[in-house]
Structure 1
Amino acid sequence: MLTRHSDCLSVLTDSARFASDWRRAGEDIPAPLLSVQTLDPPEHTAIRHLLLDGFRAQDRQALHAAMDRWAGELLAELAGRPSFDFVGELAEPLALRFITAFLGVDAPDPAWFVPMSRTVVDGMDAGLWPEKHEPAVAARARLAEYAGGWLADPPKDGLIGYVAAHAESAGVDRSVLRNSLRVVLHAGYESASRLLGNAAAALLTYPGALAAFRTAPLAAAVDELIRYDAPVQADARVCVTETELAGVTIRVGDPVTLFLGAAHHDPLRFAHPTELRLDRAPNPHLGFGRGAHACLGASLAIRLAGSVFTALARDYPDARAVAEPAHRSNLTLRGLDRFEVTLRPHTGEEELS
């Protein structure tokens, strides 16, 4: 179990000794789990390059403009309410709209998709609660089947249209592509929505944070919000070549758990790590991973957060929490279940409960 920033970084950037693909250590991995997220080079290379090329081919400026517009419109709508749930009424619907627009498809019915997505997240903690594993595998398979429908009749625009047209020439297996599109949908939604919720909780409960956001460099501020309370709190690898790390021998087959949340608060790497410093630089957080499995959509997630919180800080400087943020009972992927906020000035009638 690793908690130091330097040790976590070493493992994340060394896929030769620490595998994401547990088949390299003799594990039997269900087919729905084989994707860009779990394969290692060289198998991983073709699907990652295809997706990266697809990302680069999109009109991201148009998407960014749309994100700014959606965030502003949704905040304006919610501003008329005495209070609202930032998670269920802003972060989640905005994240789903954002990722499906990037993919080039209509958003699935939230009543079907959200419970399925949460089942997958619950399965990330199956090491502690084994009963969560099988439902998560089944949910991944259903989401992959849903993604397969996109490939059967791909849209002209968006990431799906690109990869559907180029997968064969790239030499990417169809099932791996389908599973990887499921990963993009699920990770894009969950990571983005949880990032927005965690960041909102920090900005609206840490003294002076929202006011400081207005003058801080935008990229630095978003990076610090990620470091301070990252959605991805832990990751795992398996050792495939005996090695020594920080004076400890790690043997072939040993699982290695990386506590990224702890690494982000490592005083050996970050000065005053418990403080929210929106101008912190440099800020080498590991919130989007590193190495071969670094997050494909990191820049999009950062831009989405920038759209939301720039509009919030600029147009609603009196925004504040009216209840303590309530967290979901997940350990690997940290996020809020509910966070009641208001965009109205304080009248003295409401109290933080």
Structure 2
Amino acid sequence: MLKDSASFAADWRRVGEKMPPRAINMLTLDPPEHTVVRRLFMEALRAQDHTALERMIEQHTTELLATLARRPSFEFLTEFAEPLALSTTSAYLGVPTPDPAWSSRIARDIVAGMDAGLWPERARPVLAAQEELAVLVEEWLAHPPPTGVVGVIAERAAGSGVDPAIIENTVRGLLFSGYSSGSKLLGLVAIALLHERAAELERFRAADTARAVEEMVRYASPIQAVARACVRDTELGGVEVRAGQAVTLLLGAANRDPARFPDPGTVRLDRHPNPHLGFGRGPKSCLGSPFTAVFTRVVLRVLAERYPGIRALSAPTYFPNLTARSVERFEVAFR
């Protein structure tokens, strides 16, 4: 379904639904419009120095951990994963780092709003959060940085043929993806390595780190579900899906499918092949997944090499979200 945009639409306007202008971005468009936007952004991502990216993430990680190491304990998400994801994503984009408290509030409103179909009261804060983010991104594109992803996009936007509003919305999504998705994944991985399977961080040092991160994405599945609109009558797995129907894809369940993954509830850091759906699949696969994979790999490597004694102090708590798994608190200590 993720690959078949002719039958299953990410753009709900194709089945008559209305979409707020701020919600129309690369991920909510279908080919051929989607292809043009993605090409522009992929060119900007490929233009970055990825060796320098790894060095930058390692430096930010090392400095923040050195500060936290002076304390008896700290809250992993709000004091480590979120500020680290925010500073590194901003550096990657080439823009000033937004206020961490403001960014955290905006991200929580947007993630909660993903479940507005079940809890309608969550929809209004999302619109307000999108407007606040839009003001920030418009300023970046009006006065683009000389380096980074945003600088390249601003330089090439005029000749791309892409609607400036869609460029703004997609940059906003790129910031949100790097910050919110990156920090959520790191938090969930830390829970798996330090709480659920406390011996795994030590094993990470000796593992093929690329494969290990892919396995942690599968196991953690920060995005649990996505939805598609059926555009034309289609048979799927022996079930007839009618045009106009909404279909929810449970990515978290797919990533634990025993028919696809032997012993799916076990972390196998060397699992290969690993056809997980943690970053999506097909034309709508996550644009920021390469950055998130590098971010997670570098941070885990630094933790495993420099702070192998890090441990969980208590069980984690979670926000009541269904579309995205969202850690609320996870207290850890270095000693």
| TM-score, reference length from structure 1 | 0.93
User: 2:257 maps to what in 1?
Assistant: 266
User: 1:94 maps to what in 2?
Assistant: 84
User: 2:307 maps to what in 1?
Assistant: 316
Deviations along 1:7-62, one digit per CA (max 9) or x if unpaired, are: xxxx1111111100000000011101000121111111111110000001112211
User: 2:317 maps to what in 1?
Assistant: 326
Q: Which amino acid aligns with 2:14?
A: R
User: 1:280 maps to what in 2?
Assistant: 271
How far apart are the structure 1 equivalents of 2:324 and 2:180? 8
Choose which of 145, 152, 169 in structure 1 pairs with 2:142: 152
How far apart are the structure 1 equivalents of 2:52 and 2:262? 38
User: 1:49 maps to what in 2?
Assistant: 39
Is structure 2 residue 171 aligned with structure 1 residue 171?
no
- What are the equivalent positions in structure 2 for 1:195-344 lying under 5 Å apart? 195-205=185-195, 206-344=197-335
The unaligned stretches of length 5 or more in structure 2 are none
User: 1:69 maps to what in 2?
Assistant: 59
How far apart are the structure 2 equivalents of 1:30 and 1:194? 26
- What are the equivalent positions in structure 2 for 1:118-157 lying under 5 Å apart? 118-157=108-147
How much does 1:276 deviate? Answer: 1.2
Point out 4+ residue stretches in structure 1 off by more than 2 angstroms: none
- SS at the partner of 1:105? coil
Choose which of 105, 125, 128 in structure 2 pairs with 1:115: 105
How far apart are the structure 2 equivalents of 1:132 and 1:73? 36
- SS at the partner of 2:278? coil
Aligned residues: CA RMSD: 1.0
How much does 1:130 deviate? Answer: 1.1
Q: Which amino acid aligns with 1:161?
A: G
How much does 1:111 deviate? Answer: 2.3
Number of aligned residues:
334
- SS at the partner of 2:27? coil
How far apart are the structure 2 equivalents of 1:141 and 1:277? 42
How much does 1:145 deviate? Answer: 2.4
The unaligned stretches of length 5 or more in structure 1 are 1-10, 345-353
How much does 1:281 deviate? Answer: 1.0
How far apart are the structure 1 equivalents of 2:301 and 2:106? 31
- SS at the partner of 2:79? helix
How far apart are the structure 2 equivalents of 1:315 and 1:142? 38
Answer yes or no: is the 8 Å Cα contact 2:61–2:302 preserved in 1.
yes
How much does 1:207 deviate? Answer: 3.9
Deviations along 1:311-353, one digit per CA (max 9) or x if unpaired, are: 1111122111001111122111112111111111xxxxxxxxx
Answer yes or no: is the 8 Å Cα contact 1:15–1:40 preserved in 2.
yes
| TM-score, reference length from structure 2 | 0.97
How far apart are the structure 1 equivalents of 2:215 and 2:264? 10
Choose which of 27, 30, 40 in structure 2 pairs with 1:40: 30
Answer yes or no: is the 8 Å Cα contact 1:145–1:178 preserved in 2.
no
Q: Which amino acid aligns with 2:330?
A: F
How far apart are the structure 1 equivalents of 2:28 and 2:286? 12
